[in-house]
């Protein structure tokens, strides 16, 4: 039986090809359901169909490639869209590794066998919380799709799907009995492997994530004439909470806990006006 051989040059060629779609400076900008995102989803579908898969882009933009033949399958892949103006390997590496594995099996066996290849939609949360992967296990309702909007542009999800010619297409639901398991290769997004001179690692746990939106309501006023002791500064209030988080969290959290204040907004966000309203997001992740 011929040995399965991975073509490393082909892997790099695919990664560099996808890097050009939505290229932004040294990274890439390919938000969910944008034109570049749809282009690479159709690219993946066509690549899989060319080696005997039954592949489709479903009604929420998941790409699913089913390999023919009997027997249990391994589900493998990742995602193709990116965070805004971000790195070019996040997600894409896992998709290309899955595609190359499928090609190598096809070349060695003469037909695809044993694996299904996927690319989840909206894993980066432009329209919601893991809409693509949750849709594949039947956890996304039509009502949720009706109210979902792009967090950056405000475009409704239904409209974005229409623009992508996906309106009215059925959403796939995975047959869990079909699979032995799921595998996703991914770049390391931290520094632990690099600092320990390791080239590869195996995930031991999946962290949970909680996100909180903290709102302060004060009194908008003139920054040049309102005395400090008479101010109700909403911006100062949320920054005080931020400072408390930094001093308190480190003493009560585990060494695996990470937390981030990733978004702060003052209203009206002008240099000479005391903010009357302020918001910030706090995200906490931990294995427990």
- Interval 245-256: pLDDT, tens: 999 988 888 888
Q: How far is CA 91 from CA 54, 77, 87, 180, in A?
A: 22, 8, 10, 22
- Interval 131-159: pLDDT, tens: 999 999 999 999 999 999 998 899 999 99
* Cα–Cα nearest to 207, from 284, 131, 272, 101: 284
CATH topology of domain 208-286: Alpha-Beta Plaits (3.30.70)
Instruction: Name the H helices within the chain.
Output: 8-19, 35-49, 92-109, 131-136, 142-147, 157-163, 192-195, 234-252
pLDDT at 24 > cutoff 80: yes
Average pLDDT over residues 4-11: 94
CATH topology of domain 8-195: Aminopeptidase (3.40.630)
3-class state of residue 267 by DSSP: strand
- Interval 33-85: pLDDT, tens: 999 999 999 999 999 999 999 999 999 999 999 998 889 999 999 999 998 89
Positions of CATH 3.40.630.10 in the chain = 8-195
Positions of CATH 3.30.70.360 in the chain = 208-286
User: What's the pLDDT score for residue 152?
Assistant: 87
* pTM as predicted: 0.82
Q: In the chain, how long is the greatest CA-to-CA distance?
A: 84
pLDDT at 194 > cutoff 70: yes
Dihedral-angle region of residue 91 (phi above 0 means left; psi in -120 to 50 means alpha; beta otherwise): left
80-89 burial: b if 16+ Cβ within 10 Å, else e: bbbbeebebb
Q: How far is CA 154 from CA 84, 85, 198, 209, in A?
A: 15, 18, 42, 24
pLDDT at 23 > cutoff 70: yes
pLDDT at 19 > cutoff 70: yes
Spell out where 156-207 has E strands. 179-183
The angle subtended at Cα 63 by Cα 58 and Cα 67, nearest 5°, is 110
Q: How far is CA 177 from CA 9, 38, 66, 91, in A?
A: 35, 30, 14, 26
pLDDT tier, 1 (very low <50, low <70, confident <90, very high otherwise): low
Cα separation, 40 vs 116, whole angstroms: 18
Block residue for tokens 């849709």? 135
- Interval 223-234: pLDDT, tens: 999 999 999 999
User: What's the pLDDT score for residue 116?
Assistant: 96
Block residue for tokens 């320990």? 196
Give backbone dihedrals phi and psi of 261, rounded to 5 degrees, phi first: -100, 100
Token duo for residue 15: 């990664």
């Amino acid at each position: 039986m011929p040995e399965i051989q991975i073509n490393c040059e082909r892997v790099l060629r695919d990664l560099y090809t996808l890097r050009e779609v939505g290229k932004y400076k040294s990274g890439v900008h390919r938000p969910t359901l944008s034109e570049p995102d749809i282009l690479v989803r159709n690219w993946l579908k066509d690549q899989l169909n060319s080696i005997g898969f039954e592949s489709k882009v479903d009604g929420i933009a998941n790409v699913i490639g089913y390999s023919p033949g009997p027997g249990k399958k391994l589900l493998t892949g990742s995602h193709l869209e990116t965070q805004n103006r971000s790195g070019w390997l996040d997600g894409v590496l896992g998709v290309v590794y899955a595609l190359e594995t499928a090609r190598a099996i096809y070349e060695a066996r003469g037909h695809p066998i044993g694996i299904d290849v996927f690319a989840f939609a909206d894993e980066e949360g432009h329209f919601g919380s893991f809409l693509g992967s949750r849709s594949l296990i039947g956890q996304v309702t039509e009502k949720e799709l009706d109210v979902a909007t792009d967090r950056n542009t405000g475009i409704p999800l239904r409209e974005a799907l229409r623009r992508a010619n996906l309106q009215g297409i059925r959403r796939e639901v995975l047959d869990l009995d079909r699979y032995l398991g799921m595998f996703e290769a991914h770049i390391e997004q931290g520094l632990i492997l690099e600092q320990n001179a390791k080239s590869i690692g195996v995930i031991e746990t999946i962290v949970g994530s909680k996100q909180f939106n903290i709102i302060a309501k004060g009194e908008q006023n003139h920054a040049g004439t309102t005395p400090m002791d008479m101010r109700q500064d909403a911006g100062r209030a949320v920054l005080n909470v931020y400072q408390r988080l930094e001093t308190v969290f480190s003493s009560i959290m585990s060494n695996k806990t990470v937390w981030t204040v990733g978004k702060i907004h003052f209203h009206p966000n002008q240099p000479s006006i005391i903010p009357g309203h302020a918001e910030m997001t706090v995200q906490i992740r931990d294995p427990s």
